[in-house]
Amino acid sequence: MSNLSGKFVIGLTGNIATGKSVVRRMLEHLGAYTIDADALTHRAYSKGAPGYQQVIDGFGKWIVNKDGEIDRKKLGNLVFSDPEAMKQLETIVHPLVRQATEILAKRATQPVVVIEAIKLLEGELRNICDSIWVTNAPEVIQIERLMRKRGFTRDQAQERIHMQSAQSAKVAVANIVITNTGSYEDLWKQVSEAWKEIVPGAQEMPTETITIKKPAKPTGEITSQRGKPKNASAIADLITRLSKGVVKLTKDDVMENFGDKAYMLLQQDGNLVGVAGWQVENLVTRTTDIFLEDGLDQEKALKILIEGVESASSELQSEASLIFAMNELSKQDALWLKLGYEKRTPETLGVQAWQDAATESTPTGSALFFKQLRQDRVLRPI
């Protein structure tokens, strides 16, 4: 076991566009507590954090934007084109990220902790890992993903890939290699099998029967539970129907979505009657998809659904919950207020990480509702 008492720590790494974050999310679905160390880097030099003045002193005030925050794009353009500048930045932030990671891991209730970091093997985080997992993909697939998902040109994609240390060197020291060639189901199978190897007794739960027919007269108790990839077909059918075809999903679409988010399911009388798509990234919960069956007690159903999301989020040490409501739900200010949520804009959230999450996640036409989930900021010690 690692030097984190009672925890088994998986270090997850791999080069750009090999699927690290997707694998991290899968491990979260299986029951691990997961940490994106690269995202913590941004917190380490946000305004008020201990790395903030060090970065300004090292690189100059020109990287500070009008709000007083360090402009990540300016800083990124500099360090990705200058190895010495990158080394200087890492000297500042790596010790802070190590400290923050250990704080989160020690506070986690889950016995397995996953630390995702692109430079895991080059830094001190490697020393607290019990098992090294490496995601791998052919370069042609990396290039295709960078062009499709990030809008890179082929030359830009190749340049970014070749700037990183050789993927073969990472694979050579791995305890587990996850090959990601694009099939989510194949990827899920690899991750599940590897999980069973390190977690004694870990097995796939029996498939649960979830129907999606609309009950004629629902009378039973409404309950929530976290969805699993095995529920993908039912989730796809429900969202497609409740959105009246505006959002058309297939099982494969939902399976792919599981690499980015989780689903909270609402059930009544054995039927699936509601769903919310959500994720926790950088200690912020973001709920972007809410669909409810017509005829439900909306206030009651929404309360149960959102409380399910909040409960699952608390297990992931989330500090704040952001809900991006669409259509009629975007106009229900009083209803959201009863659930503890205020209508806000990103710039009023106060904490930079919360503002960034809101700005990055806001769908077009949505209204933002905010609730602070805990008063003690998890990473305040850094």
Query: What does the H/E/C string look like for 70-128?
Result: ECHHHHHHHHCCCHHHHHHHHHHHHHHHHHHHHHHHHHCCCCEEEEECCCHHHCHHHHH
Domains of the chain in start order, with CATH, are 8-198 (3.40.50.300), 222-372 (3.40.630.30)
Strand partners, 86: none
Q: DSSP labels for 292-318? A: E-TTS-HHHHHHHHHHHHHHHHHHTT-
Contacts of 57 (CB under 8 A, 6+ apart): none
d(CA 135, CA 157): 18
Burial class of residue 368 in the structure, from the number of CB atoms within 10 Å of its CB (0-12 exposed, 13-18 middle, 19+ buried): buried
Residue whose token pair is 């794009």:
73
Q: Are 321 and 285 in contact (CB under 8 A)?
A: yes
In tens digits, the chain (382 residues) has pLDDT values of: 556 778 999 999 999 999 999 999 999 999 999 999 988 988 899 888 889 999 999 999 999 999 899 999 899 889 988 989 999 999 999 999 999 999 999 999 999 999 999 989 988 899 999 999 999 999 999 999 999 989 999 999 998 898 888 999 999 999 999 999 978 889 999 999 999 988 766 654 444 445 555 555 556 899 999 999 889 999 999 999 999 999 999 999 999 899 899 999 999 988 999 999 999 998 999 999 999 999 899 999 999 999 999 999 999 999 999 999 999 999 999 999 999 999 999 999 988 889 999 999 899 999 999 999 988 765 554 4
Model pTM above 0.85: yes
Q: DSSP secondary-structure letter at 357?
A: H
Q: Give SS3 for 213.
A: coil
- Other beta carbons within 10 angstroms of residue 282's beta carbon come to 20
